[in-house]
A and B are shown apart, each in its own frame.
Chain A
Amino acid sequence: MNSANRVLITGVGVVCPIGLSAEETWQRIRLQQNSITPIGFGHGCDFRIETASFVDCEKIRRNIKPEHIGYSKSFQYGLVALQEAIEKARLTPGDMQNTRIILSTTSSGWDVLERRLGEKELGEFNIQETAGWCASKLKEISGSIRPTSTFAAACASGTIALGYAYDLISTGCEDIVLVGGVDVLTKVPFALFDSLRVLSARECRPFDSKSSGIVLSEGAAFIVLESEHSAKQRGISSLVEFAGYGQACDASHMTRPSGEGLLEAMKQALNNAGVDSSSIDYINAHGTGTPSNDNVELGAIEKLMASRTSPIVVTSTKSSIGHLQGVAGVIEAAVVAYTVSENTVPPMKHSETRKNTNTISFDPKSDGLQNIGYAMSNSMGFGGVNAVAIFRRIDNGEISTLESCPRRGFMPISVRFGTENGGGGSIEDGFLGAYSFDRNGPDLQSKALISQVESILRHSDIAPKSLLRTRTGLALETCLGSIAVTEKIYADLDREGASGVDPIDATRNTFNAPGSFSAIASNLQGPNITLAAEMGSSLSALEYGISILQGNSSDLMIVGGYDYIPVESKTFKSIRMLGNEVAGGLGNCVFEASMMSIELLDSARKRGAQSDLVIEDFFRNSRRASMNAVVDVIATISEYLTENRIHQIGIECVINSKEGEAKWRKELDASGLKDKFQLNVEVLSSISPAWAYKYLKNLGGSSSKENDLDGNNRLDKYLVVFAGWNSEISVLRLGKVA
């Protein structure tokens, strides 16, 4: 029997400035075409650079239904790419029901957000502005009823999302995952890159002595990842296997990559794929066209490839498609899929002054390269986040194992929380000053999170700076990300134009800024991820963190949720305009954050670390395309208890509802669960994904004292069920804390 399922690419879909399908994009890359045009949003901003690459929106509108035209552009691009991927993989509505959608993005819905910020009067908040919305809407339209996750870890997001899907399939948790990236290029992200002076006025020339910077771009891409077993059952052939991936954080500087994280990520990817560096035939580099980043990347590749006898062929397709940021990892994986299946290296435009070295060849027709068996795709992002994927060509007639590997059993997780004052209250109160950044360091939100992370690390019995921090990571989730910074940048631009934008704010505006600052402060070099949560949903970061631990990619993960929505911000007031039903979820959460450390219970015990909670089982579920109903929660609980033959357990049902608690209580009381089990129902309302972590922390606080959840010493096991505003339900089975 297999120990892991092989993961295949069975479909792709692409929307970008040079093509509205994967095939069209690939052909144009081969012809070295690009599309650089004046920006349409620059009026009054006086940007230093005034060109970029844009998708032809007119053509997009012809490819989608009229009812979808009014939505955010990023959603529209995503929809077209998704439709193509579903078609290519011949996924039926029946297949789609059980297919999970995982997205990556940096600016999903920002066209809608900036429209509101640009209005003279206070505009109403639109749910499309939250980065987690797009995945939910695509799920609804595609007929999937599986939970979604959205990765917002800057320009490495796409490859990280692919890696997560790889883990889910190889461990037997999922059969098919649709991994996509969506991004729309708008004023604020453009202003940030402009303020950092990394944009090119001409073409993008990666690794060229005449390179002058990035050409920003937009679009969407989807890749269908599928277990070999599922593809065979459906009669779908594939020429490309996703062989492995790796990820690591530099933990050194927000905008200046060190190369160490990338080198580590490449090594991990090789290890994961079970090959050595001499097996890699081609690298699709991150290669943005900024001399400093390109040199760091080349340095890391040189180190990795030092022992090779023939040079490794390296190109960057950003010379044609531009930099699609959150989409980059996914679209470049699609390009690599073509590279591998057609045995053709994509050329780099504008290569006249690029020099080969003993280790690296930029020549796509390099003599040494006859056959592309393995190809690597690199991604690097703001905050020092790096991720690397390796793909492999499946030779015709290759014999494979038909048997599918069973779902991996759940290894119990030990949970530890920080000190009581490690969060909540005012930001200044929470800040411990754990690390001395200079004045170009973190904003208030990030400082508050740094203090929580430090507090948890101490409570996790890990001496600061002493543990092997390459094996310690961070996964946080947030609904509105760095909205306070975004509003400031928008206002600065409005008032003073491009010169008014503070380049330091560029380091604070990405969704993953607080997570990256925390990694720098606490030297966390393991996986560093920020997930975008839909309003009122939660626990996608816990799910991710558990997956990382169970896959042995890390020893300890800090997971949690946060949001910082200042009362004086336009966004706070705009949410208020939605009425109490939604605005009630704001509560008094000007700043809301809660997190915890998790590690495998076995390893916690081995090193003598204590536990505040023990998670014996965990899963996220979804039973319909949109909003949860009471019946879904009841069905999820009943099925779980029946399947696991559990007859005695306490059930904590935590409902995040905008509709108030009477209805939930009444229906749960009437469900019959109360007759057989000790059932406790809590109803709350919160926009930020911090709510579920906060609840767990309260449980952990009492359980550590009384060795039981409510101090009454009745039961050893509790089922804690969280139902958010959307269609997702999370179930944790908590065991006795030894």
Chain B
Amino acid sequence: MEKLGHVLAKFIEIPMTEIDDDASIQVDLGVDSLDVLKLASEIEKAYKIRIENEEFDRLRSIGGIKKMINEKVAGGVGASK
């Protein structure tokens, strides 16, 4: 998840390791809605995956993002097309 740490650093000042997996990106960490869109694009680019519009709810917390990346990179459920 090193790449995710780099991506998140562009949006959140606190290092990823110090953020609770359940913390809300928008409410607790104050990331603007436009930045969440940007964050999604950056994750897509970094991991060469596709985040579908209907999966957007999974970007609510760091834990959700990690889980989604793991699934997609492993080619499991919800992997990119």
Contact = CB atoms under 8 A, between A and B. Distances in A.
Interface of A: 46, 48-49, 195-197, 199, 201, 212-213, 255-256, 438, 440, 496, 499-504, 507
Nearest to A255: B34
Nearest to B35: A440
Interface string B12-41: 000000000000000000001111011011
A503 B38 CA distance: 6
Contacts of A500: 41, 45
B71 interface: no
Nearest to B32: A440
* B contact residues, range: 10 to 19
Chain A interface helix/strand/loop/mixed: loop
Interface of B: 32-35, 37-38, 40-41, 44-45, 50, 52-54, 56
Contacts of A499: 41, 44-45
24 contacts: A48-B50, A48-B53, A49-B53, A195-B37, A197-B37, A197-B53, A197-B56, A199-B53, A201-B53, A212-B53, A213-B53, A255-B34, A256-B33, A440-B34, A440-B35, A496-B45, A499-B41, A499-B44, A501-B41, A502-B38, A502-B41, A503-B41, A504-B34, A507-B34
Given A197-B56, A212-B54, A496-B45, A504 B38 contact: yes
Given A49-B53, A212-B53, A496-B45, A197 B40 contact: yes
A632 B22 CA distance: 72
Contacts of A438: 32
Contacts of B50: 46, 48
Interface centre among A197, A255, A502 (most CB of B within 10 A): A197
Contacts, number: 40
Contacts of B40: 197
A496 B45 CA distance: 8
Contacts of B37: 195-197, 503
Nearest to A194: B53
B38 to A, nearest CB: 5
A262 to B, nearest CB: 19
B31 to A, nearest CB: 11
Nearest to B40: A197
A204 to B, nearest CB: 14
A199 B52 CA distance: 11
Contacts of B38: 440, 502-504
A520 B50 CA distance: 34
Interface centre among B33, B34, B37, B41 (most CB of A within 10 A): B34
Given A48-B50, A212-B54, A195 B33 contact: no
Nearest to A256: B33
Nearest to B54: A212
B79 to A, nearest CB: 15
A195 B41 contact: yes
B1 to A, nearest CB: 19
Nearest to A501: B41
A74 B72 CA distance: 41
Interface centre among A438, A440, A496, A501 (most CB of B within 10 A): A440
Nearest to B10: A439
A49 B51 CA distance: 11
Nearest to B44: A499
Nearest to B42: A499
